[in-house]
């Protein structure tokens, strides 16, 4: 019964590219800023141009694409742009390893990856494409940076970097492995440099409060940001030290002050520095702290170490002399860089006190009776009542906090204080491949911003990467310039900006890209905020917080009117794959899926047939070789099967395990749909009420699924409806249902859909068509299936008219043979009836 206009099989090899060209020719996905339609800005996190599109990108962009195409079908003017996060370290690493220029390497990668994206058929507005390494883009970024400087949001201060003494280079955290430089293997040192900072802490309160309005962000992301910002109410007070100095400390647990058994300062705290002067042992200890990791994770997992300064601090209430230690777990940039340590009620202090034999007094207990209860090998950080604490005894934790703060304030030795965990954003990078920081150092005038008409300050092309270190510093001419203030000899800043700055406003530039300024305020007002932002959960904190901050900062200085850039956020999972490996000579060798023949339970090498071990399903990575190349898959199965796979089965926020069998199944479904569309019978008449109902219910449900980004559910519903249509006899209802499936599948399998749309003789492109209408009357079923339980266990089901009253349901349930057999004459004590759902009989 196959329609003659349909070939036996859908051939993506000839169809995909043809339709991609048709979309380009019709310019269907170009966003019109002057449109009067409701707007939808759909954005996926733009990729770093590493060279190849990764299957994870394909998943991310397919989700956004389905939403963008769907919104267009619902009559929205859609902005769905794409660009390149093109600055960063990998380009410099490639330059060092392969002798290529970072710019050329990046441009080649972009060209490759763009071609790859085109082959997947994404509905992108390529007119708005840019790369952050375009001088035009980073020139505007330099202008914005100067604006923020003029608004007092940019400053310089000393801060610590990882220094590789052999390569004479600053290392990123990921380049430090076990405290050693990844290339040189040299012991990494901490070194202080003058660096540029953005005052994100000025916005801490705003960024925290703003989270409350981001209702369409995942709760987990909001919670992570809240914890990261880390507002805490505590007490800052000063200890009188035995050397006559005062030592300010900050604590969030002033209630436990009677449990303080020592005081600790960070290695770079002035008290530590003072102790080290003329004290070799203290100096050695501070040196020890300077080695090793800089990251919070390393600091906190490292063994707690300390050095007794010999100084003591006088307890403000008991007058006791507490020893002052230099400790490796105290951070200089949180609070005052010094703490009162309460080992009984803080785990880090507990470990330290145990190691150094310091007292561990209990000052909080479950009840006053437990005042002498020993600790069970760890600190107790929870709630309770105060004990062994003088005037605080018997109070709860909150009351005691307030009491201590007011007494300290009365003494005049301190005050209640709000402290934030959030630190200012250090944006200096001692690297070439980034946005040059637009400032000029003049001996006479100091650090002055470059004149705006000198922007962009572009990177020099003639650089070499044979010598380690920043090529901008050793370039013969680049940094030499004139001071814009006095006209005298001066030098350019050679630091470049963190690439997180580039990604903090690219979504604005997509919406509006005038040549003479970063963006047009009115156009931003039209397009922003982004309706739906989609990206990886790994960006939950840094990128998303920086972008929120940068947007607020621009609003603060009056350049834009939007404060939150992303109205709705979705974080998708990774694409994973099992690993294949063989142990040869004690070494594990990994093989790529392409090298392996995968049977039901086992796998063997294609070349040679030796068995390989099938490993866990993990994130795709080059080192484990468990990667699949989107290009190869598309060449084999076409773009639509790959897109369908990306949407099927796994909920989008969870990991998606790639499997060969899975893509085969998708390929078969593409063909099954193709046959279904061929079964559209011109002129078929007659009504099929059940099918019509199923079809309209599916259209309604798939629409809500797509809007909720629950693509796996939408896919399951399309399978179901397809099955129902295949079983039905030809009718007008059936034709209508086939047409609905075609339209519903079109955002997911656009090439197949265009081909079928054309074959059915529908005019124009399906990409320009409207979403099918839903007949509300068909959404409600008139019969429901009721579960009948006895003592909470299912005994029978009943099919009854919808809305049947409770007493009738109860009577029907009790009349059931199966139920009576289960009750077996016992006394019915209670019957619970949930209309249209269930009856539960309790005996």
Partner RNA sequence: GCGGGCGUGGCGGAAUUGGUAGACGCGCUGGUUUUAGGUACCAGUAUCUUACGAUGUGGGGGUUCGAGUCCCUUCGCCCGCACCA
Closest distance between RNA and the C-beta of residue 473, in Å? 14
DSSP state, residue 595: G
405 — phi, psi (to 5°)? -60, -45
- Would you call 400 exposed, middle or buried from its count of C-beta atoms within 10 A (0-12, 13-18, 19+)? buried
Question: Nearer Cβ to RNA, position 105 or 425?
Answer: 425
- H-run or E-run covering 806: helix 806-815
Report the side by side order of strands in the sheet with 783-790.
Answer: 793-801, 783-790, 838-842, 830-834
Closest distance between RNA and the C-beta of residue 779, in Å? 12
Question: Nearer Cβ to RNA, position 77 or 92?
Answer: 92
Closest distance between RNA and the C-beta of residue 189, in Å? 14
The angle, 0 to 180 degrees and rounded to 10, between the axes of the packed helices 689-707 and 711-727 is 170
- H-run or E-run covering 631: helix 630-647
Using DSSP, state whether 549 is helix, strand or coil.
Answer: helix
DSSP state, residue 647: H
137 — phi, psi (to 5°)? -65, -50
The angle, 0 to 180 degrees and rounded to 10, between the axes of the packed helices 55-73 and 102-120 is 50
Closest distance between RNA and the C-beta of residue 197, in Å? 10
Using DSSP, state whether 501 is helix, strand or coil.
Answer: helix
Question: Nearer Cβ to RNA, position 671 or 758?
Answer: 671
Question: Nearer Cβ to RNA, position 600 or 761?
Answer: 600
- Report which of 207, 142, 206, 153 is spatially closest to residue 557, judged by C-alpha positions: 153
- H-run or E-run covering 431: none
Closest distance between RNA and the C-beta of residue 841, in Å? 9
CA–CA distances in Å: residue 346 to residues 350, 362, 372, 817: 6, 11, 18, 64
Closest distance between RNA and the C-beta of residue 418, in Å? 15
- Report which of 714, 106, 152, 168 is spatially closest to residue 433, judged by C-alpha positions: 106
Question: Nearer Cβ to RNA, position 28 or 716?
Answer: 716
- Would you call 339 exposed, middle or buried from its count of C-beta atoms within 10 A (0-12, 13-18, 19+)? buried
Count CA atoms closer than 13 A to 587's CA, side-chain side: 3
Closest distance between RNA and the C-beta of residue 344, in Å? 15
Question: Nearer Cβ to RNA, position 241 or 266?
Answer: 266
Using DSSP, state whether 643 is helix, strand or coil.
Answer: helix
Closest distance between RNA and the C-beta of residue 403, in Å? 25
Question: Nearer Cβ to RNA, position 381 or 445?
Answer: 381
Q: Write out the two tokens for 401.
A: 């906090």
Question: Nearer Cβ to RNA, position 502 or 754?
Answer: 502
Closest distance between RNA and the C-beta of residue 681, in Å? 18
Closest distance between RNA and the C-beta of residue 649, in Å? 4
Closest distance between RNA and the C-beta of residue 381, in Å? 8
- Would you call 476 exposed, middle or buried from its count of C-beta atoms within 10 A (0-12, 13-18, 19+)? exposed
- Report which of 787, 795, 763 is spatially closest to residue 838, judged by C-alpha positions: 787
Count CA atoms closer than 13 A to 616's CA, side-chain side: 3
Closest distance between RNA and the C-beta of residue 375, in Å? 15
Q: Which residues contact 38 (CB under 8 A, 6 or more apart)?
A: 75, 76, 77
Question: Nearer Cβ to RNA, position 274 or 730?
Answer: 730
Q: Write out the two tokens for 87.
A: 């600055």
Strand-pair partners of 238: 248
CA–CA distances in Å: residue 340 to residues 147, 250, 348, 741: 41, 8, 12, 67
Using DSSP, state whether 128 is helix, strand or coil.
Answer: helix
Count CA atoms closer than 13 A to 539's CA, side-chain side: 23
Q: How many CB atoms lie within 10 A of CB 204?
A: 20
384: left (phi > 0), else alpha (psi -120 to 50), else beta?
A: left
Strand-pair partners of 307: 326
- Would you call 632 exposed, middle or buried from its count of C-beta atoms within 10 A (0-12, 13-18, 19+)? exposed
Closest distance between RNA and the C-beta of residue 280, in Å? 30
Q: Is 526 annotated as a binding residue?
A: no
Binding residues: 622
Binding residues for ATP: 622
């Amino acid at each position: 019964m196959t329609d003659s206009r349909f070939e036996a099989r859908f051939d993506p090899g000839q169809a995909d590219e043809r339709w991609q060209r048709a979309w380009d020719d019709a310019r269907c996905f170009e966003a019109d800023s002057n449109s009067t339609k409701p707007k939808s800005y759909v954005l996926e996190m733009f990729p770093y141009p590493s060279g190849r599109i990764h299957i994870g990108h394909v998943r991310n962009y397919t989700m956004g694409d389905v939403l963008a195409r769907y919104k267009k079908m619902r009559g929205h003017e859609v902005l769905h742009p794409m660009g390149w996060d093109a600055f960063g370290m990998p380009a410099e690493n490639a330059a060092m390893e392969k002798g290529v220029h970072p710019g050329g390497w990046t441009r080649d990668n972009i060209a490759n990856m763009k071609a790859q994206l085109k082959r997947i058929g994404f509905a992108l507005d390529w007119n708005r494409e840019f790369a952050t390494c375009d001088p035009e883009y980073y020139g505007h970024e330099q202008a914005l940076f100067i604006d923020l400087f003029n608004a007092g949001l940019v400053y310089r201060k000393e801060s610590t970097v990882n220094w590789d003494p052999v390569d004479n280079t600053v290392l990123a955290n990921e380049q430090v492995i076990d405290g050693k430089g990844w290339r040189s293997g040299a012991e990494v040192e901490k070194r202080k440099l003058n660096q540029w900072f953005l005052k994100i802490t000025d916005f801490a309160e705003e960024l925290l409060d703003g989270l409350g309005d981001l209702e369409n962000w995942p709760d987990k992301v909001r919670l992570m940001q809240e914890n990261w910002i880390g507002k805490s109410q505590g007490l800052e007070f000063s200890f009188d030290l035995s050397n006559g100095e005062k030592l300010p400390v900050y604590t969030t647990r002033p209630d436990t002050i009677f449990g303080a058994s020592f005081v600790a300062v960070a290695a770079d705290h002035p008290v530590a520095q003072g102790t080290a002067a003329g004290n070799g042992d203290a100096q050695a200890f501070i040196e020890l702290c300077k080695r090793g990791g800089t990251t919070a994770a390393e600091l906190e997992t490292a063994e707690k170490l300390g050095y007794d300064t010999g100084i003591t601090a006088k307890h403000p209430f008991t007058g006791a002399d507490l020893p002052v230690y230099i400790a490796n777990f105290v951070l200089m940039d949180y609070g005052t860089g010094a703490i009162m340590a309460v080992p009984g009620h803080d785990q880090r202090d507990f470990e330290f006190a145990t190691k150094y034999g310091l007292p561990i007094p209990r000052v909080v207990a479950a009840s006053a009776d437990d005042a002498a209860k020993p600790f069970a090998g760890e600190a107790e950080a929870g709630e309770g009542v105060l004990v062994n604490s003088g005037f605080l005894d018997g109070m709860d934790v909150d009351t005691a906090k307030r009491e201590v703060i007011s007494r300290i304030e009365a003494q005049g030795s301190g005050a209640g204080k709000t402290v934030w965990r959030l630190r200012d954003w250090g944006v200096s990078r001692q690297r070439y491949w980034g946005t040059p920081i637009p400032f000029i150092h003049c001996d006479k005038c100091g650090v002055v911003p470059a004149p705006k008409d000198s922007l962009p300050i572009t990177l020099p092309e003639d650089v070499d990467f044979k010598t380690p270190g920043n090529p901008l510093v050793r370039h013969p001419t680049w940094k030499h310039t004139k001071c814009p203030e006095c006209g005298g000899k001066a030098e350019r800043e050679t630091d470049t900006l963190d690439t997180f700055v580039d990604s903090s406003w690219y979504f604005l530039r997509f919406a509006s890209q005038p040549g003479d300024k970063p963006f047009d305020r009115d156009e931003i007002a039209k397009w922003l905020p982004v309706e739906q932002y989609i990206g990886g959960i790994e960006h939950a904190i840094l990128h998303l917080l920086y972008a929120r901050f940068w947007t607020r900062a621009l609003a603060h200085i009056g350049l834009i009117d939007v404060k939150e850039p992303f109205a709705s956020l979705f974080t998708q999972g990774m694409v994973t794959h099992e690993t294949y490996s063989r142990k040869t000579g004690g070494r594990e060798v990994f093989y790529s899926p392409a090298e392996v023949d995968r049977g039901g339970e086992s796998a063997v090498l294609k070349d040679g047939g030796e068995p390989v071990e099938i490993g866990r399903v993990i994130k795709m990575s080059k080192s484990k070789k468990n990667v699949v190349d989107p290009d190869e898959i598309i060449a084999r199965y076409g773009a639509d099967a790959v897109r369908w796979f990306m949407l099927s089965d796994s909920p989008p926020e969870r990991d998606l395990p790639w499997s060969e069998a899975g893509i085969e199944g998708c390929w078969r479904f593409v063909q099954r749909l193709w046959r279904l569309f061929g079964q559209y019978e011109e002129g078929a008449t007659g009504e099929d009420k059940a099918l019509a109902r199923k079809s309209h219910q599916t259209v309604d449900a798939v629409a809500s699924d797509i809007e909720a980004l629950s693509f796996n559910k939408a896919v399951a519903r399309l399978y179901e409806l397809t099955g129902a249509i295949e079983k039905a006899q030809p009718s007008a209802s059936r034709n209508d249902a086939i047409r609905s499936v075609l339209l519903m599948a079109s955002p997911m399998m656009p090439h197949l859909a265009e081909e079928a749309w054309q074959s059915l003789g529908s005019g124009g492109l399906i990409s320009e068509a409207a979403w099918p209408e839903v007949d509300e009357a068909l959404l409600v079923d008139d019969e429901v299936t009721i579960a009948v339980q006895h003592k909470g266990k299912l005994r029978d089901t009943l099919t009854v008219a919808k809305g049947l009253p409770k007493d009738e349901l109860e009577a029907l349930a009790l009349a059931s043979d199966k139920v009576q057999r289960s009750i077996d004459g016992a006394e019915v004590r209670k019957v619970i009836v949930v209309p249209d759902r269930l009856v539960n009989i309790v005996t």
